[in-house]
Amino acid sequence: MIHRDIIAAIATAPGRGGIGVIRISGSQLARFAAGLTPRAPEPRHALLTTFLDAANQPLDHGLLLFFAAPHSYTGEDVLELQGHGGPVVMRQLLQRCLELGARLARPGEFTERAYLNGRMDLAQAEGVADLIEASTALAARAALRSLQGDFSELIQILTNKIVALRTLLEATLDFPEEEVEFLTAGRAQQQLSAVREQLDATLAATRQGSLLREGIQVVLIGEPNVGKSSLLNRLAGEEVAIVTEVPGTTRDAVREQIDIDGLPVHIIDTAGLRETTDAVERIGISRTWAMIEKADLALLVSDVGRENDSANNAIIDRLPAGLARIRVMNKIDMAQRKAAREQIGTEGRVWVSAKTGEGLELLKQAIWDQAGWHPCGEGVFTARTRHIEALQAAQRHLSAAAGVTGRLELYAEELRLAHEALSGITGEYTPDDLLGEIFSKFCIGK
């Protein structure tokens, strides 16, 4: 699908830099380049040249790279102009490209063209954005694996097995009286069980990939002066929140993203929860409750030995029923207690000292467990909520198929729906409005 129109964009970040890059994609770009430089570019060779304006006056001096279709990022002709990275220079070069007939590229349009031209599937295209946005080193490595096709390969293996099962089933339906063994109920169950088992494993790995990409939203809550800000500073490894002995010091949320062994944790230190007549503090407390509603996990911090006082119990009673929580008993250094972790029913408790850091590793482990995160190395890939939803849909259809193996028409329909759900991950069956939503979140120039 080679597009007739030519798109152009500045591909480097805004501001000043050593170099700046303008990317151009479309058809017949060798002729397009003639309006920019006096020398014709050769495919896949770096040409040191002068970039010219409409009056053949120099705009900049730099490198011109030409990638002829289909051997390029987008699958179309691609030009890259590498000039000096000043905003004025970049704007002048981009304006010259527009004068020559290009239009400004939409966010993500280069990668969208790469997908539409078969250079990558949709899961790989999403890996491009995930790699750019990665907030931890592990997330970056995982996004690169998605871009290289590790996740897509798992989906393709599952899809192939479902297709093979559908092929046998269709043959059984089309030739019911032939003396050829196609698909008996026993073989159907056996093969389906193997596919379901592999799908379950893929879904578990995808949930880890989604956590790695999106992280977990954690709020620090509790009464004033129990050490929430000190705990944030300890987890972050730097002084990001003001710590004093004056109750009510934190009046507005302090947000920090931290890396807990590869898991991105978006942690928010909030105003101490108490009854107050201070108008500003009351606004902060109101915002705290609003953030609690949106959180994935609450760390309820209290002074050791006071975890069951009436104020803490009042906070617990008001927490949303489905919100995961960990009770953090702080200041064990003052109570001469040791760090510990225990599970009381559905509630985890950890004894720590934000001042000395004792018990911090136990708290990290508790956060991992509540998030469903298993510290891992190589092999993990990034994934998105839509991937999980598609796998869950396939899981439901395969479960339904297992219940109707004796009714081949219904069995065939459930397999078809499972196949369609999986194909949506890589983009074989994807609505245009979903494509627009996905690529609109990319940066311009990519």
Q: Domain holding 71: CATH number?
A: 3.30.1360.120
Domain carrying residue 19: 7-115
131 located within any domain: yes
DSSP 226: S
Considering 66, 88, 115, which residue would you say is the last residue of a domain? 115
pLDDT for position 252 = 53
Q: Domain holding 276: CATH number?
A: 3.40.50.300
- pLDDT tens-digit map of 287-298: 777 778 788 888
Number of domains in the chain: 3
76 lies in the same domain as 25: yes
Kindly report the average pLDDT of the chain as a whole number. Answer: 83
223 lies in the same domain as 149: no
260 lies in the same domain as 176: no
Q: What is the pTM of this model?
A: 0.79
The SS3 call for residue 160 is: helix
264 lies in the same domain as 142: no
Picking from 148-157, 277-286, 323-332, which range would have the lowest pLDDT averaged per residue? 277-286
Selected residue with higher pLDDT from 197 and 343: 197
Q: Domain holding 418: CATH number?
A: 1.20.120.430
Q: In angstroms, rounded to a whole number, what is the distance separating the alpha carbons of residues 444 and 431?
A: 22
- Tell me the DSSP string of 97-124: HHHTT-EEPPTTHHHHHHHHTTSS-HHH
- Peptide bond preceding 14 in cis form (omega within 30 of 0): no
169 lies in the same domain as 299: no
Per the CB < 8 A criterion, the answer to whether 264 and 218 are in contact is: no
Residues paired with residue 222 on neighbouring β-strands, in sequence order: 301
111 located within any domain: yes
109 lies in the same domain as 143: no
339 lies in the same domain as 226: yes
Considering 115, 133, 164, which residue would you say is the last residue of a domain? 115
265 located within any domain: yes
Q: In angstroms, rounded to a whole number, what is the distance separating the alpha carbons of residues 367 and 438?
A: 30
438 located within any domain: no
pLDDT for position 247 = 47
63 lies in the same domain as 164: no
244 lies in the same domain as 347: yes
436 located within any domain: no
111 lies in the same domain as 241: no
19 lies in the same domain as 106: yes
Q: In angstroms, rounded to a whole number, what is the distance separating the alpha carbons of residues 417 and 392?
A: 12
Selected residue with higher pLDDT from 203 and 167: 203
Q: Which amino acid is at 399?
A: S
444 located within any domain: no
- Tell me the DSSP string of 380-422: -----HHHHHHHHHHHHHHHHHHT-TTSHHHHHHHHHHHHHHH
Of the chain, the percentage scoring pLDDT greater than 90 comes to 37
- pLDDT tens-digit map of 239-277: 654 444 544 444 456 778 888 877 888 888 776 665 555
Q: Of 207, 194, 213, which is closest to residue 372 (Cα–Cα)? A: 207
Q: In angstroms, rounded to a whole number, what is the distance separating the alpha carbons of residues 312 and 298?
A: 13
77 lies in the same domain as 172: no
pLDDT for position 175 = 59
Q: Which ranges of 175-278 does DSSP label H, i.e. alpha helix?
A: 185-214, 228-236
- Peptide bond preceding 70 in cis form (omega within 30 of 0): yes
pLDDT for position 179 = 46
> What SS3 string covers 258-278?
EEECCEEEEEEECCCCCCCCC
pLDDT for position 272 = 62
Residue partners of 275: CB distance under 8 A and separation at least 6: none
Helix 185-214 vs helix 137-148: crossing angle, to nearest 10 = 140
Q: In angstroms, rounded to a whole number, what is the distance separating the alpha carbons of residues 324 and 295?
A: 9
414 located within any domain: yes
434 located within any domain: no
